[in-house]
Structure formats: structure tokens, C-alpha cells
Amino acid sequence: MLKSPGEQGFDIATGEGQSLGNPLSFGGPYLGFMAATKKLVRKMPGRMVAKTVDTQGRDGFVLSLQAREQHIRREKATSNICSNEALCALRAHMYLSLIGKEGLKEIASLCVDKAHYAKERIKLIPSVKVMESSPTFNEFTIKLPVDAGEVVGKMIERGFAAGFPLGRYYPEMQNYMLVAVTEKRTKYEIGQYAETLEAVLCQ
């Protein structure tokens, strides 16, 4: 749906991989990903998974650009930085292998469509303003008539993780909330969310 970072002229791109088959798990552990142009790839830190073939010509994946001591000495290694990120990376690998390239495109399309549907549904609430200053993938900002942190608390009581109150990091945005809609949300759930938000604001 978007040009790749390389096509846009970037040498390095980083991102969050939680949504690639990993549960939210109350904030972690998660994984990130990093990509670079070929001229910079040998300067990248940490783990890199590379594709190779075994002696019988079968595809295989190996960790490269990483200190071998961590695997040879295991618990005696002095530079062991491994943690549950390896498990998260494995889950992401399995997820991407199962959905494939076309599946990833379909999920992206669902995110965009559902986020736009949510925006239109929320626009029907008289006291809420949907901000339109930038393009939408699956996140957008809304302005509420009251403190967003209070609204989030009241929505949680009703079973909805309503969004992120931006005033937590931007004091001048106490009434603003970041809303995210993914492929997992149904039209019915989005409708219930909007109805509950309107009910909370009318209290």
C-alpha cells in the first residue's frame, strides 16, 4: 500500500513487530525490526536471520552477524543478550510464513478500511472532532470535549480499551486521544465502541 523505505530514499528503516502474531501481553516482551541497504548491512547490530541451504539443498534459516559465543558457551557466555525477543521473533516468523505476502496486503487493506469506517462512525458523535491533518492507516486522533484520560478510564470500566490519551506526553493535548483500529475489529464492535463513547461523553 506504500512505497518501501528504500524506494523513498531511506538507508535504514526500523519498526515495531508486535502486531506480527504476538499478543499484547501487558506491554511485552515484543520485538522490533531493522532493515538497511546492502552497503550498510554489515554495520547492523544484534541478530540477523539469513536464508541459506543445507547439504541436501533444502532451505534453512540461520542467525548471522552475531557473536557465536552466545550459542557455543550458552549459560557461561559473558555477552549473552538473549531474552524472550527470540520467542517473539519466532512467532513473527511463523505468522508471516502462514499469511504470506498476499495475506499481509489483505490485512493492511482491512486496517485501512476499518479505520476509515471508525472515523466516519465517530464523526456522528456531536461533541467529538476527528482530526484530519494527516493520512490514516490504522491510527487517527480525535478531540474530545473533556480530558481524554478520564474518558479512557470510563471506557475501560465498560470493557473498551478506548485509545491513548495524548496529554500523557503532550500537556497541551489533554483532550486528544489516539485511536487504533486493526483487522481484528468487526463492524459491530466499532459501532459498540462509538455508542459507548457517546454515552460516556453524555454523562
**How confident is the model at residue 104, as a pLDDT?**
93
Q: Give the phi and the psi of residue 79 in degrees, each rounded to 5.
A: -115, 25
Q: What are the grid coordinates assigned to 16, written together?
A: 515495531
Q: What is the SS3 assignment for 43?
A: helix
Q: What are the grid coordinates assigned to 25, written together?
A: 501481553
Q: What is the percentage of the chain residues whose pLDDT exceeds 90?
A: 64
**How confident is the model at residue 80, as a pLDDT?**
47
pTM over 0.85: no
Tell me if 67 sits within 8 A of 48, measured CB to CB: no
Domains of the chain: which residue ranges?
A: 12-105, 107-201
CATH, domain range 107-201? 3.90.1150.10
Residue found by looking up cell 486521544 in the block: 177
**How confident is the model at residue 86, as a pLDDT?**
77
Amino acid at 152: V
